[in-house]
Amino acid sequence: MTNRSRKFAAILPLLFGWCTFARGEDPAKTTHEYDIVYSKPDGVELTLDMARPSEGEGPFPAVVVIHGGGWRGGDKKSNRPILGKLAERGYVAISPKYRFCPKDLFPAQVNDVKASVRWLRSHAKEYHVDADHIGAVGFSAGGHLSLMLGATGPEDGFEGDSDKDAPSSKVQAVVNFFGPTDLSASDIPEVSQPLIRDFLGGTPADKPEAAKKASPLTFVTKDDAPVLTFQGTKDPLVPHTQAIKLGEAMTKAGVPGRVELILGGSHGWGGAESARTEQETLDFFDVYLKPAKK
Protein backbone atom coordinates (compact mmCIF):
# COMPACT_ATOMS: atom_id res chain seq x y z
CA MET A 1 0.00 0.00 0.00
CA THR A 2 1.38 3.43 -0.96
CA ASN A 3 1.63 6.30 1.49
CA ARG A 4 -1.21 8.05 -0.35
CA SER A 5 -3.36 4.92 -0.08
CA ARG A 6 -2.68 4.71 3.64
CA LYS A 7 -3.76 8.32 4.10
CA PHE A 8 -6.96 7.72 2.13
CA ALA A 9 -7.78 4.56 4.12
CA ALA A 10 -7.29 6.47 7.34
CA ILE A 11 -9.87 9.11 6.46
CA LEU A 12 -12.55 6.73 5.14
CA PRO A 13 -14.43 6.71 8.47
CA LEU A 14 -14.56 10.51 8.34
CA LEU A 15 -16.36 10.63 4.99
CA PHE A 16 -19.76 10.34 6.61
CA GLY A 17 -19.11 13.04 9.20
CA TRP A 18 -20.09 12.61 12.83
CA CYS A 19 -22.40 15.46 13.64
CA THR A 20 -25.81 13.94 14.22
CA PHE A 21 -28.98 15.17 15.88
CA ALA A 22 -29.75 13.62 19.23
CA ARG A 23 -32.43 10.97 19.46
CA GLY A 24 -35.42 11.38 21.68
CA GLU A 25 -38.39 12.74 19.74
CA ASP A 26 -41.85 11.84 20.99
CA PRO A 27 -43.10 9.07 18.62
CA ALA A 28 -46.70 9.98 19.43
CA LYS A 29 -46.16 13.33 17.69
CA THR A 30 -44.58 12.02 14.50
CA THR A 31 -45.42 9.66 11.66
CA HIS A 32 -42.65 7.81 9.79
CA GLU A 33 -42.72 6.23 6.33
CA TYR A 34 -39.70 4.53 4.79
CA ASP A 35 -38.50 3.55 1.31
CA ILE A 36 -40.95 5.61 -0.74
CA VAL A 37 -39.98 5.59 -4.43
CA TYR A 38 -39.45 9.13 -5.65
CA SER A 39 -37.54 8.73 -8.92
CA LYS A 40 -36.46 6.09 -11.46
CA PRO A 41 -33.44 7.38 -13.39
CA ASP A 42 -32.48 4.85 -16.07
CA GLY A 43 -34.99 2.46 -14.52
CA VAL A 44 -33.25 2.44 -11.12
CA GLU A 45 -35.65 2.99 -8.22
CA LEU A 46 -34.54 5.68 -5.80
CA THR A 47 -36.30 5.84 -2.45
CA LEU A 48 -36.64 8.26 0.43
CA ASP A 49 -37.54 8.13 4.11
CA MET A 50 -40.05 10.56 5.60
CA ALA A 51 -41.17 11.83 8.98
CA ARG A 52 -43.99 14.32 9.48
CA PRO A 53 -46.15 15.73 12.27
CA SER A 54 -48.95 13.43 13.39
CA GLU A 55 -51.16 16.28 14.48
CA GLY A 56 -52.41 19.35 12.64
CA GLU A 57 -53.58 19.97 9.12
CA GLY A 58 -50.61 22.03 7.96
CA PRO A 59 -49.49 22.91 5.45
CA PHE A 60 -46.11 22.27 7.03
CA PRO A 61 -42.75 23.55 5.80
CA ALA A 62 -40.39 20.79 4.66
CA VAL A 63 -36.69 19.93 4.90
CA VAL A 64 -34.62 17.61 2.72
CA VAL A 65 -31.87 15.92 4.77
CA ILE A 66 -28.91 14.67 2.70
CA HIS A 67 -26.36 12.18 4.03
CA GLY A 68 -22.63 12.33 3.40
CA GLY A 69 -20.18 9.73 2.16
CA GLY A 70 -17.93 11.34 -0.43
CA TRP A 71 -20.68 11.07 -3.07
CA ARG A 72 -19.79 7.36 -3.11
CA GLY A 73 -21.50 5.88 -0.07
CA GLY A 74 -23.63 6.51 2.97
CA ASP A 75 -27.20 5.59 3.84
CA LYS A 76 -30.37 7.62 4.19
CA LYS A 77 -31.19 5.50 7.27
CA SER A 78 -28.53 7.41 9.20
CA ASN A 79 -30.74 10.50 9.02
CA ARG A 80 -33.85 8.98 10.61
CA PRO A 81 -33.21 10.57 14.04
CA ILE A 82 -32.90 13.96 12.31
CA LEU A 83 -36.16 13.39 10.42
CA GLY A 84 -37.92 12.70 13.70
CA LYS A 85 -36.57 15.84 15.35
CA LEU A 86 -37.66 17.96 12.40
CA ALA A 87 -41.11 16.38 12.33
CA GLU A 88 -41.56 17.07 16.03
CA ARG A 89 -40.59 20.67 15.32
CA GLY A 90 -43.40 20.94 12.74
CA TYR A 91 -41.68 19.98 9.47
CA VAL A 92 -42.25 17.33 6.85
CA ALA A 93 -38.75 15.89 6.55
CA ILE A 94 -37.35 13.54 3.93
CA SER A 95 -34.00 11.86 3.37
CA PRO A 96 -33.38 10.66 -0.20
CA LYS A 97 -31.16 7.90 -1.46
CA TYR A 98 -29.08 9.09 -4.41
CA ARG A 99 -26.79 7.47 -6.97
CA PHE A 100 -23.13 6.97 -6.10
CA CYS A 101 -19.91 7.58 -7.94
CA PRO A 102 -17.76 6.29 -9.54
CA LYS A 103 -20.51 4.25 -11.22
CA ASP A 104 -22.66 7.35 -11.67
CA LEU A 105 -20.71 10.55 -12.18
CA PHE A 106 -21.64 14.15 -11.49
CA PRO A 107 -24.24 15.55 -12.03
CA ALA A 108 -26.25 12.38 -11.23
CA GLN A 109 -26.20 13.12 -7.49
CA VAL A 110 -27.41 16.70 -8.01
CA ASN A 111 -30.10 15.49 -10.42
CA ASP A 112 -31.34 13.03 -7.78
CA VAL A 113 -31.63 15.39 -4.82
CA LYS A 114 -33.37 17.89 -7.09
CA ALA A 115 -35.81 15.15 -8.08
CA SER A 116 -36.58 14.60 -4.39
CA VAL A 117 -37.50 18.29 -3.98
CA ARG A 118 -39.76 18.13 -7.04
CA TRP A 119 -41.36 14.98 -5.61
CA LEU A 120 -42.11 16.87 -2.38
CA ARG A 121 -43.79 19.66 -4.27
CA SER A 122 -45.70 17.23 -6.49
CA HIS A 123 -47.05 15.48 -3.37
CA ALA A 124 -47.59 18.62 -1.31
CA LYS A 125 -51.35 18.12 -1.00
CA GLU A 126 -51.02 14.45 -0.01
CA TYR A 127 -48.48 15.11 2.76
CA HIS A 128 -49.67 18.61 3.78
CA VAL A 129 -46.47 20.32 2.62
CA ASP A 130 -46.07 24.06 2.26
CA ALA A 131 -44.47 23.93 -1.20
CA ASP A 132 -43.25 27.52 -0.94
CA HIS A 133 -41.10 26.80 2.12
CA ILE A 134 -38.68 23.91 1.64
CA GLY A 135 -35.16 23.76 3.05
CA ALA A 136 -32.18 21.44 2.82
CA VAL A 137 -29.53 20.32 5.29
CA GLY A 138 -26.59 18.06 4.53
CA PHE A 139 -23.36 16.74 5.92
CA SER A 140 -20.04 16.63 4.01
CA ALA A 141 -20.95 15.61 0.43
CA GLY A 142 -24.55 16.07 1.54
CA GLY A 143 -23.70 19.63 2.53
CA HIS A 144 -22.33 20.21 -0.95
CA LEU A 145 -25.54 18.84 -2.51
CA SER A 146 -27.65 21.00 -0.20
CA LEU A 147 -25.76 24.08 -1.35
CA MET A 148 -26.41 23.09 -4.96
CA LEU A 149 -30.14 22.94 -4.18
CA GLY A 150 -30.05 26.45 -2.78
CA ALA A 151 -27.92 28.04 -5.48
CA THR A 152 -28.95 26.46 -8.80
CA GLY A 153 -32.09 26.72 -10.88
CA PRO A 154 -33.50 25.26 -14.12
CA GLU A 155 -31.23 27.45 -16.21
CA ASP A 156 -28.16 25.69 -14.77
CA GLY A 157 -28.91 22.30 -16.33
CA PHE A 158 -29.31 20.03 -13.31
CA GLU A 159 -32.96 19.03 -13.69
CA GLY A 160 -32.27 15.67 -15.35
CA ASP A 161 -35.17 14.24 -17.34
CA SER A 162 -37.87 16.24 -15.59
CA ASP A 163 -40.85 17.52 -17.55
CA LYS A 164 -40.95 21.15 -18.61
CA ASP A 165 -43.95 21.78 -16.38
CA ALA A 166 -42.40 20.05 -13.34
CA PRO A 167 -42.34 22.04 -10.10
CA SER A 168 -39.22 23.92 -9.01
CA SER A 169 -36.34 22.05 -7.40
CA LYS A 170 -34.88 25.09 -5.66
CA VAL A 171 -35.09 25.37 -1.88
CA GLN A 172 -35.61 28.41 0.35
CA ALA A 173 -33.03 27.79 3.10
CA VAL A 174 -29.85 25.71 3.42
CA VAL A 175 -27.79 24.46 6.34
CA ASN A 176 -24.41 23.15 5.23
CA PHE A 177 -22.32 21.06 7.59
CA PHE A 178 -18.68 21.01 6.33
CA GLY A 179 -19.50 20.58 2.63
CA PRO A 180 -16.97 21.66 -0.03
CA THR A 181 -17.78 24.78 -2.02
CA ASP A 182 -15.04 25.01 -4.69
CA LEU A 183 -13.88 21.68 -6.12
CA SER A 184 -11.19 23.17 -8.35
CA ALA A 185 -9.48 25.19 -5.61
CA SER A 186 -5.84 24.72 -4.68
CA ASP A 187 -6.73 24.39 -1.00
CA ILE A 188 -8.33 20.94 -1.48
CA PRO A 189 -6.03 18.57 0.47
CA GLU A 190 -4.31 15.67 -1.26
CA VAL A 191 -6.31 13.11 0.70
CA SER A 192 -9.60 14.49 -0.72
CA GLN A 193 -8.49 14.65 -4.32
CA PRO A 194 -9.40 11.00 -5.13
CA LEU A 195 -12.93 11.72 -3.91
CA ILE A 196 -13.30 14.63 -6.31
CA ARG A 197 -11.70 12.66 -9.14
CA ASP A 198 -14.21 9.84 -8.75
CA PHE A 199 -17.07 12.31 -8.48
CA LEU A 200 -16.14 14.20 -11.65
CA GLY A 201 -14.71 11.27 -13.61
CA GLY A 202 -11.30 12.96 -13.71
CA THR A 203 -9.21 15.52 -11.87
CA PRO A 204 -10.20 19.18 -11.88
CA ALA A 205 -7.20 19.78 -14.14
CA ASP A 206 -8.52 17.18 -16.59
CA LYS A 207 -12.12 18.40 -16.31
CA PRO A 208 -12.02 22.10 -15.45
CA GLU A 209 -15.53 22.84 -16.73
CA ALA A 210 -17.04 19.96 -14.74
CA ALA A 211 -15.17 21.06 -11.61
CA LYS A 212 -16.48 24.59 -12.03
CA LYS A 213 -20.03 23.44 -12.66
CA ALA A 214 -19.90 21.09 -9.65
CA SER A 215 -18.87 23.93 -7.31
CA PRO A 216 -21.64 25.77 -5.41
CA LEU A 217 -19.39 28.84 -5.34
CA THR A 218 -19.88 29.17 -9.11
CA PHE A 219 -23.62 29.81 -8.76
CA VAL A 220 -23.83 32.26 -5.86
CA THR A 221 -26.19 35.11 -6.78
CA LYS A 222 -28.43 37.51 -4.88
CA ASP A 223 -31.53 35.33 -5.35
CA ASP A 224 -30.03 32.29 -3.60
CA ALA A 225 -31.50 30.69 -0.51
CA PRO A 226 -30.13 31.91 2.83
CA VAL A 227 -27.27 29.67 4.00
CA LEU A 228 -25.96 28.69 7.42
CA THR A 229 -22.59 26.92 7.23
CA PHE A 230 -20.79 25.07 10.03
CA GLN A 231 -17.13 24.23 9.43
CA GLY A 232 -14.33 22.89 11.62
CA THR A 233 -10.95 24.60 11.46
CA LYS A 234 -9.08 21.29 11.72
CA ASP A 235 -11.11 19.39 9.13
CA PRO A 236 -8.70 17.08 7.27
CA LEU A 237 -11.01 16.70 4.27
CA VAL A 238 -12.57 20.14 3.73
CA PRO A 239 -10.40 23.11 4.73
CA HIS A 240 -12.16 25.95 6.52
CA THR A 241 -11.01 28.28 3.73
CA GLN A 242 -13.75 26.70 1.61
CA ALA A 243 -16.39 28.00 4.05
CA ILE A 244 -14.72 31.41 4.22
CA LYS A 245 -14.81 31.73 0.42
CA LEU A 246 -18.50 30.87 0.46
CA GLY A 247 -19.13 33.53 3.09
CA GLU A 248 -17.23 36.10 1.04
CA ALA A 249 -19.23 35.25 -2.09
CA MET A 250 -22.52 35.46 -0.18
CA THR A 251 -21.51 38.82 1.27
CA LYS A 252 -20.66 40.18 -2.18
CA ALA A 253 -23.93 38.93 -3.66
CA GLY A 254 -26.06 39.99 -0.71
CA VAL A 255 -27.21 36.48 0.28
CA PRO A 256 -28.33 36.32 3.92
CA GLY A 257 -26.94 33.79 6.38
CA ARG A 258 -23.68 33.19 8.18
CA VAL A 259 -20.59 31.02 8.44
CA GLU A 260 -19.65 29.55 11.83
CA LEU A 261 -16.13 28.20 12.30
CA ILE A 262 -15.85 25.51 14.95
CA LEU A 263 -12.36 26.15 16.32
CA GLY A 264 -10.47 22.87 16.49
CA GLY A 265 -13.41 21.04 14.92
CA SER A 266 -12.71 18.10 12.62
CA HIS A 267 -14.94 16.70 9.87
CA GLY A 268 -17.80 16.73 12.35
CA TRP A 269 -18.07 17.02 16.12
CA GLY A 270 -20.04 15.71 19.06
CA GLY A 271 -21.05 16.55 22.60
CA ALA A 272 -22.19 20.02 23.56
CA GLU A 273 -21.06 21.49 20.22
CA SER A 274 -23.27 19.02 18.36
CA ALA A 275 -26.26 19.95 20.52
CA ARG A 276 -25.60 23.64 19.94
CA THR A 277 -25.30 23.38 16.16
CA GLU A 278 -28.44 21.22 16.11
CA GLN A 279 -30.36 23.95 17.88
CA GLU A 280 -28.89 26.61 15.58
CA THR A 281 -30.05 24.55 12.59
CA LEU A 282 -33.62 24.29 13.85
CA ASP A 283 -33.75 27.99 14.70
CA PHE A 284 -32.39 28.95 11.28
CA PHE A 285 -35.05 26.92 9.50
CA ASP A 286 -37.76 28.41 11.73
CA VAL A 287 -36.71 31.92 10.68
CA TYR A 288 -36.72 31.26 6.94
CA LEU A 289 -39.27 28.47 6.48
CA LYS A 290 -42.06 29.35 8.89
CA PRO A 291 -43.89 32.40 7.59
CA ALA A 292 -45.21 34.80 10.19
CA LYS A 293 -48.87 34.26 11.03
CA LYS A 294 -51.12 37.07 9.92
Q: How many Å apart are CA 93 and CA 136, to the nearest integer? A: 9
Q: Within a domain: residue 47?
A: yes
Q: Within a domain: residue 260?
A: yes
- The pLDDT of residue 5 is 47
Q: How many Å apart are CA 276 and CA 271, to the nearest integer? A: 9
How much is the average pLDDT of 162-172? 90
The DSSP code for 13 is G
pLDDT exceeds 70 at position 188 = yes
Q: Percent of the chain beyond pLDDT 70?
A: 90
CATH number reported for the structural domain that contains residue 43 in this entry: 3.40.50.1820
How much is the average pLDDT of 183-192? 96
Q: Within a domain: residue 21?
A: yes
- The pLDDT of residue 182 is 98
C-alpha distances out from residue 140 to 78, 107, 291, Å:
14, 17, 29
Question: Domain range for residue 271?
Answer: 3-289
Q: Within a domain: residue 181?
A: yes
pLDDT exceeds 60 at position 20 = no
Q: How many domains does the chain have?
A: 1
How much is the average pLDDT of 264-288? 97
One-letter amino acid at 171 equals V
CB 120 within 8 A of CB 156: no
Q: How many Å apart are CA 79 and CA 15, to the nearest integer? A: 15
Q: How many Å apart are CA 104 and CA 230, to the nearest integer? A: 28
For 27-86, the pLDDT digits (tens) are 779 999 999 999 999 999 999 999 999 999 899 999 999 999 999 999 999 999 999 999
* CB count in 10 Å sphere of residue 47: 15
Q: What global pTM score does this model have?
A: 0.94
Q: Within a domain: residue 294?
A: no
Q: Within a domain: residue 203?
A: yes
Q: Within a domain: residue 56?
A: yes
Higher-confidence residue: 286 or 27?
286
Kindly indicate the confidence band of residue 1, based on its pLDDT and cuts at 50, 70 and 90.
very low
